[in-house]
Structure 1
Amino acid sequence: MPARFMRGTGALAQISADLGLSQVVSIPANARIIITSGQVGFREDLTIPEDVGEQVRQIAHNAHKLLQDAGATEGLKDIYHVTIYMTNMSDDNMLAAWKEVKSKYDIKSVETGVTVPSLYQGAKVEMTFYALGGCQVDSGKL
Structure 2
Amino acid sequence: MAGSSDKKTFNPASVRAPFGNYNHGLFVPPGASLLVTSGQLGIRPDETIPPDVAGQAEVCFQAVDAILTEAGMSFEDVIRISGFVTRREDFPAYMAVRDRYTGAIKPVSTLLIVSGFTREEFLVEVEVTAAKVF
> 1:89: which partner in 2?
88
Call closer, same or farther: CA 1:44–1:106 in 2, change over 3 Å.
farther
For the structure 1 residues 65 and 28, does the alpha-carbon distance in structure 2 shift closer, same or farther, using more than 3 Å as the test? same
Against the structure 1 CA distance between its residues 106 and 59, is the aligned structure 2 distance closer, same or farther, given a 3 Å change threshold?
Answer: farther
RMSD of Structure 2 on Structure 1 (CA) = 1.9
- What's the % identity of the aligned pairs? 24
- Cross-structure match for 2:132: 133
Larger helix proportion, structure 1 or 2?
A: 1
Task: Render the CA deviation track for 1:47-79: whole Å, top value 9, x for unaligned.
Answer: 22111101111111111110121232xx22210
Deviation at 1:96, TM superposition (A): 2.5
Partner of 1:138: none
Residue segments in structure 1 that go unaligned for 5+ positions in a row: 136-142
Question: Take 1:44 and 1:31, find their aligned partners in 2: how far apart are those partners?
Answer: 31
Q: Which runs of structure 2 are paired with 1:1-142 in the superposition (5 Å)?
A: 2-9=6-13, 12-13=16-17, 16=18, 18-72=19-73, 75-91=74-90, 92-102=92-102, 105-106=103-104, 108-121=106-119, 122-134=121-133
What 5-or-longer segments of structure 2 have no aligned partner? none
Aligned partner of 2:13: which letter? T
TM-score (norm 1): 0.79
Q: What's the TM-score once normalised by structure 2's chain length?
A: 0.83
Looking at structure 2, the residues matched to 77 and 89 of structure 1 have their Cα atoms a distance apart, in angstroms, of: 28
